Amino acid sequence: MTPASPVSAAGNLPKCLYISSYHQGYSWSDGVEAGLRKGLRDHCAIRQFNMHSKHNNAIDKKVQAATRVVELIDQWKPDVVIASDDIAARYVIAPHFRDKDVPIVFCGINWTVDEYGFPYKNMTGIVEVAPVKPMLLQAQSITRGRKALYLGADTLSEKKNYQRIAEEAGTINIEVDHLAITTFDDWLQSYLAPGDYHFIILGSNFGIDNWDTTAAQTRIQQNDNLLSVTNHDGMMPVSTLGYTKIPSEHGEWAAAAAIQILNGIPPDEIPLASSKQWDLWVNEQLLDTTGLTLSQSLLRKAKKTRPKYTHTGDN
């Protein structure tokens, strides 16, 4: 377990504790952190605790990390706590800080906060909402198909992602089946032999054992003739089309809310928000392989990527 990051500022500044459900080096977490630190610069002394739940997915490990966070809050007594993503919400905030005195700002929680009973009277936050319907409608338009396969890791976040995508797909008459993947070999086999599906929806690879981006790129480049789409920017090396969330939006919003709280605004007077920003990506390399044709309008709007075959580890 990585110790809490040292205080990033000194003097008489207020104290802000940032709890990341994941780890530095994970692209989503890094984006949230960058937006948060930029927004809070010169406003408070920042301390960070990384729960490493992508690497330590067992429940007892998450509980141990949560216990350490609670101890840190009791000892350091931050003026504001910012908690990112579902693991921090489920294991730290919900069981320990409901309607307590410490102000809480959450961000990066997928789709809904109902399962945690949020918001509390000491809380505000921003919910992570992916641009699912535009992605599904575009995939349907390109393939003329209504049957999709969702490939995602066997994790809490991915199960929530699939459930919401399946619900949204049902409103536009698209059927989405789900495979919860635990190993890279299973993921690759499922991607390359998807049966009679018209397109594949790629969830996050975090939580999939022995993930190898280079091997995935190589095999897909040799065999791919099916459209793949994703909401995760880290999956663009192996996806044809991406409608991806922008993590810095969450960090920036959380920083602005924290500053309001430090200026005396009660958390429950700051309205909850949901994410509004997203990027459109096309993987030109995989597009060439599939033989599919995208509209000129889509190509003009999209950012282009042509990934190199280099090992990226936790992409």
Distance of alpha carbon 231 from alpha carbon 215, whole angstroms: 21
Q: Express as a percent the part of the chain with pLDDT over 90.
A: 74
Provide the 3-class DSSP secondary structure of residue 204.
coil
Q: What is the homologous superfamily of the domain 15-129+246-274 according to CATH?
A: Response regulator (3.40.50.2300)
- Residue ranges matching CATH 3.40.50.2300 in the chain: 15-129+246-274, 132-245+278-305
Taken in order 143, 147, 153, 155, the sign of the CA dihedral is positive
pLDDT bin (cut points 50, 70, 90) of residue 225 is confident
pLDDT bin (cut points 50, 70, 90) of residue 55 is confident
CATH of 132-245+278-305, one of 3.20.20.80, 1.20.1070.10, 3.40.50.720, 3.40.50.2300: 3.40.50.2300
More confident residue, 225 or 8: 225
pLDDT tens-digit profile of 69-122? Answer: 999 999 999 999 999 999 999 999 999 999 999 999 999 998 889 999 999 999
CB atoms within 10 A of CB 170: 11
133 pLDDT above the threshold of 90: yes
Q: Express as a percent the part of the chain with pLDDT over 70.
A: 93
Token pair of 247, please? 């993590």
pLDDT the model gives residue 293: 87
3 pLDDT above the threshold of 70: no
pLDDT the model gives residue 312: 35
Distance of alpha carbon 150 from alpha carbon 171, whole angstroms: 17
The residues, ordered by sequence, that sit 6+ positions from 247 with a Cβ below 8 Å of its Cβ are: 27, 28, 29, 30, 31, 32, 34, 35, 108
Distance of alpha carbon 78 from alpha carbon 63, whole angstroms: 21
- Find the range with the poorest average confidence among 1-10, 47-56, 177-186: 1-10
pLDDT bin (cut points 50, 70, 90) of residue 313 is very low
Q: Look up tokens 């619900």; give the residue.
A: 167
pLDDT tens-digit profile of 164-211? Answer: 999 999 999 999 999 999 999 999 999 998 788 999 999 999 889 999
pLDDT the model gives residue 1: 41
The residues, ordered by sequence, that sit 6+ positions from 142 with a Cβ below 8 Å of its Cβ are: 199, 227, 241, 292, 294
Distance of alpha carbon 134 from alpha carbon 183, whole angstroms: 30
CA quadruple 18, 23, 28, 31: dihedral, nearest 10: 50
In the predicted model, what is the mean pLDDT of the chain?
A: 90
30 pLDDT above the threshold of 70: yes
pLDDT the model gives residue 54: 75
47 pLDDT above the threshold of 50: yes
290 pLDDT above the threshold of 80: yes
Identify whether the C-beta of residue 219 lies closer than 8 Å to the C-beta of residue 238.
no
Identify whether the C-beta of residue 205 lies closer than 8 Å to the C-beta of residue 180.
no
Integer CA distances (angstroms), 111 to 47, 108, 173, in order:
27, 9, 21
22 pLDDT above the threshold of 80: yes
pLDDT bin (cut points 50, 70, 90) of residue 270 is very high
